[in-house]
């Protein structure tokens, strides 16, 4: 006589089978947030361009070409002061890079492993004095958020939470960096342009040698073209920071709708603009 499994056994098998199917489905149905990944990755990449900081540090040395010897001591003091600022200037870029990498990993539903970056960030934060209490609070919050992401092994389901917590402090850091780029770096270039004009025009007017005048004019044009190139880089980088700020604000405003097609399309357009700006910046 053939025996059949009891109803309770069949029911148990059915439950287990459904659980297996459900588990397989949930593991394989991570939302495709590629535009968010691309935005985060490009934003992180932008922080790797430290050339502007190098040129800011080198400004006093370049000025020695155009200033009389009695002003060189002041320029040496300025150079030392700026050298002391280097770590603080790079800190803002490091915060942006570390946060954006975490954002990109979560968008890809990957575990964030940034132990080395966090250790370096912690050491730098302990040794630096922010420019304002608001910036100090922003530094602290960003560092705390990216630490939480790593320690608690957040994944894509915490992406909305990450964006919500990070928007205010990352906007503060971006604003601070933008101000430094525009006022500090941009201000140097205006000063340098005026110094070049004054230096070469004075020598050219005093010279009696036509060939010498022509050569000096060529040198002036070369130096001016270098300044204009750096000025263009400063303007583009400022625009890059604006696009990152706008893009992250969009993610924050639409944080509950990140899977919607129209929202992802908007993010994709932001990515296109940001990529074009970075490509232009690289060519300078």
Residue 115 has pLDDT above 60, yes or no: yes
Domain-embedded: residue 211: yes
Question: What pLDDT, on a 0 to 100 scale, did the predictor assign at position 11?
Answer: 56
Q: Give the residue among 41, 188, 51, 199 at the shortest CA–CA distance from 105.
A: 41
Mean pLDDT rounded to a whole number for the chain: 87
Q: What percent of the chain has pLDDT over 70?
A: 89
Report CA-CA distances (Å) from 141 to 40, 144, 254: 18, 5, 22
Domain-embedded: residue 229: yes
Mean pLDDT of 220-229: 96
Question: What pLDDT, on a 0 to 100 scale, did the predictor assign at position 105?
Answer: 94
Looking at the structure of the chain, the number of domains it has is 1
Domain-embedded: residue 17: no
Weakest-pLDDT range from 47-56, 62-71, 229-238: 47-56
Mean pLDDT of 68-96: 93
**Long-range contacts of the stretch 20-24 (C-beta < 8 A, 24+):** none
The range of the structural domain enclosing residue 213 comes to 33-283
Domain-embedded: residue 57: yes
DSSP conformation letters of 81-120: HHHHHHHHHHHHHHHHHHHHHHHHHHHTT-----HHHHHH
Domain-embedded: residue 99: yes
Weakest-pLDDT range from 55-69, 113-127, 213-227, 246-260: 113-127
Domain-embedded: residue 22: no
């Amino acid at each position: 006589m053939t025996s059949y499994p009891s109803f309770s056994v069949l029911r148990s098998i059915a439950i287990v089978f459904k659980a297996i199917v459900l588990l397989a489905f949930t593991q394989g149905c991570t939302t495709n947030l590629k535009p968010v990944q691309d935005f985060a990755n490009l934003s992180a990449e932008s922080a790797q361009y430290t050339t502007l900081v190098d040129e800011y540090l080198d400004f006093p040395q370049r000025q020695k070409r155009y200033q009389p010897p009695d002003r060189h001591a002041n320029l040496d003091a300025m150079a030392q002061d700026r050298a002391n600022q280097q770590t603080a200037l790079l800190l803002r870029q490091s915060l942006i890079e570390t946060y954006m990498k975490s954002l990109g990993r979560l968008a890809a539903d990957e575990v964030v492993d940034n132990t080395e970056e966090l250790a370096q960030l912690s050491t730098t934060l302990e040794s630096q004095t922010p420019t304002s209490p608001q910036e100090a609070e922003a530094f602290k919050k960003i560092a705390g958020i990216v630490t939480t992401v790593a320690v608690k092994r957040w994944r894509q389901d915490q992406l909305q939470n990450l964006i919500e917590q990070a928007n205010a402090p990352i906007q503060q850091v971006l604003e601070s960096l933008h101000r430094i780029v525009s006022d500090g770096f941009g201000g140097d270039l205006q000063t340098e342009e005026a110094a070049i004009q004054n230096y070469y025009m004075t020598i050219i007017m005093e010279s009696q040698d036509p060939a010498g005048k022509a050569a000096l004019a060529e040198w002036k044009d070369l130096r001016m073209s270098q300044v204009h190139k750096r000025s263009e880089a400063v303007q583009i980088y400022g625009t890059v920071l604006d696009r990152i700020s706008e893009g992250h604000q969009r993610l924050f405003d639409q944080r509950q709708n990140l899977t919607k097609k129209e929202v992802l399309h908007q993010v994709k357009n932001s990515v296109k603009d940001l990529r074009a700006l970075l490509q232009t910046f690289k060519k300078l």
